[in-house]
A and B are shown apart, each in its own frame.
Chain A
Amino acid sequence: MLRFLLTRASLVIPTFAGITLLAFVLVHAVPGDPIQVLAGEHAISQERHDELLKSYGLDRPLPIQYLRYVGHVLEGDLGRSLITHTPVIEEFGALFPATIELSLAAMLFAVVLGLPAGILAATRRNTVLDHGVMGVSLAGYSMPIFWWGLLLIILFSNTLGWTPVSGRVAVAFDIEPVTGFLLIDSLLAGDGDAFRSALSHLILPAIVLGTIPLAVIARMTRSAMLEVLGEDYIRTARAKGLVPLRVIGIHALRNALIPVVTVIGLQVGYLFAGAILTETIFSWPGVGKWLVDSINRRDYPVLQGGVLLIGTVVMIVNLAVDLLYGLINPRIRHRRA
């Protein structure tokens, strides 16, 4: 067991090195002189240029620069935004809870609908219901979510007027950030109206971001259930005369859930990528929109730091999923040992 943990955890080091290398190359591969890029529109003299080059350490050989960069990263120094001059890591910290709140809501939406849909499709195999669920989920899987978001805005925000078009909460509410999750913070403040406002802002983006995970979970649940339902122990359970609900709900589902849980864990990477599109459509103030804005503003320290931080978060979550999976399923644990 320990060996499995160590082997898996040791993979983190080369992966992290790879992510830092990507972030490092990112800024150095951008066409043009880095100081000119940093200076932006301002014209600077040759002396100032050389001085800056030296102060940033950009006159050193690239491998040395890379090591210095990794050193800074390990100290938590990711540089400052060229636009706001705030440290990148602070900006990330302020915006990250919004992305997590959105992602959790999306995942909740996907799991709450996807699991029952998959179970229903598996137990009613080859019926109209099964084909319907699978058809809809394949359509969801093929969905360009940026377009899906615009459609939902047209329908629910413009035509029906049920939900706001963009943002996290109506401007009128000023909520003290405690956890960074607006739903929790507004409840802590005891402000029911703010809570309702935050909830109505959250619904559409969560549906949009949750659509593809929903489709993946429904399909995965169905195929895992079908596999399990053909096993001998299910026939035994049925032969014992257990009610179908118990057979499906307890005996089958618990075993079918193992691959499903892994798939849910692996959606985390997708959630970040999807958040970039979803946050852009709904002007959701999270790290995805921040990253896109940084590209458009040529704010390279933000782009570099953002990529590094998101890559690291995804890496850690993937590691956690792998380790958890090893704990649940001994076959994985012993495969490579």
Chain B
Amino acid sequence: MTAAEAEALELAAPEHPLREFWRYFSANRGAVGGLVVIVIVVLLAIFADIVSPHSPIASNSKAFLVPPAWQQGGTWTYPLGTDAIGRDMLSRLIHGTRFSLLIGCIVVAISGTVGVALGLAAGFFSGAPGILIMRLMDIVLTMPPLLLAIVLVAILGPGLVNAMIAVSITYLPFFVRITRATVLGELGKDYVTASRVNGAGTLRLMLVTVLPNCMAPIIVQGTLSFSTAILDAAALGFLSLGAQPPTPEWGTMLADARDFVLRAWWVVTLPGLAILITVLAFNLMGDGLRDALDPRLKR
């Protein structure tokens, strides 16, 4: 084979899927920016103990509501100031990344796994079981997610774990619906029939044949749920129904800070900013993923 022939062959060969994905994804500057922020947040969460200058829960009785370093009365000992009982804001914010990522991961893992399983079942068994699953999901959907989460936490009792369970339940219908819709679209295709004719059992058809081809919209839904989960869990924390003090969860920190709105802007502004930046990063990345994974948008 000559060099020219080899080159021609290479040109004709289809682009590796991952490489193609990255080409579409990296063309979206917002998505890349979101990814960078997410990487930073993940690194902060992993190395929180090393990066934080102080303990997130140790209070200093000599330093209540110290303003950030650049303000009058601030000190570089506490670069972003301290809260009402003298805890370092920066260390609390850094440790907060752990809780937000944990909330996002757990919620997406629970509602994603259960939702995809139910969605697959509803798609494959479109008779009574499918109808039953979808009606149940319709009922869950009538309740606004945050309201349902509040009700569930009121039943289960306040706390971070219960808040995560409650939020997971409220996101179930979205995963079920998107999985079922995609499965129904795939079921009519030739490769499924071929696999069925080859004697593949239902479980194999579901998990090995069809599911991998349904992943794109599920991944996008997962990223977008990740960001709303952070928002909703923070809202529960803000209503004193989520993580309980002294946990340095951003929503809970805001609830503590409400009384100091007039006196100390930093205890109110910073945790919310952290939530906004993290959620925005996930939404930007979700948009980029959708553009890169949705075949209809590709030319």
Contact = CB atoms under 8 A, between A and B. Distances in A.
Instruction: Please say whether chains A and B are actual partners in one complex.
Output: yes
B86 interface: no
Interface in B76-110: none
Nearest to A27: B155
A311 B142 CA distance: 7
Contacts of A148: 272
Interface residues of A, number: 45
Contact of A151 (B239, B262, B269): B269
A295 B254 contact: no
29 contacts: A11-B135, A11-B138, A14-B135, A14-B139, A18-B136, A19-B143, A25-B155, A26-B154, A29-B155, A135-B30, A138-B30, A138-B280, A138-B287, A142-B283, A144-B231, A144-B234, A144-B251, A146-B251, A148-B272, A151-B268, A151-B269, A158-B261, A269-B143, A276-B146, A303-B154, A307-B147, A307-B151, A310-B147, A311-B142
B84 to A, nearest CB: 15
A18 B139 contact: yes
A22 B154 CA distance: 12
A119 B146 CA distance: 30
Given A146-B235, A147-B271, A150-B268, A26 B279 contact: no
Contact of B142 (A18, A135, A147): A18
B227 interface: yes
Contacts of A310: 144, 147
B283 A138 contact: yes
Interface in A245-301: 269-270, 272-274, 276-277, 280, 291-292, 295-296
Nearest to B234: A144
Closest A-B pairs by Cβ, 6 of them? A147-B272, A18-B139, A273-B144, A273-B146, A269-B144, A142-B279
B157 interface: yes
Contacts of A15: 138-139, 142
Interface in B274-296: 275-276, 279-280, 283-284, 287
A272 B144 contact: yes
B143 A147 contact: no
Contacts of B261: 150, 153-154, 158
A139 B287 CA distance: 13
Contacts of A272: 144, 147
A318 B142 contact: yes
Nearest to B135: A14
A184 interface: no
Contact of B262 (A30, A146, A158, A292): A158
Contacts of B276: 139, 142-144, 147
Interface string B247-269: 00001001000100110010011
Contacts of B280: 138-139, 142
Contacts of A280: 239
Interface string B13-44: 00000000000000000100000000000000
Contact of B139 (A19, A141, A154): A19
Of listed B30, B272, B275, residue having the most chain A CB within 10 A: B272
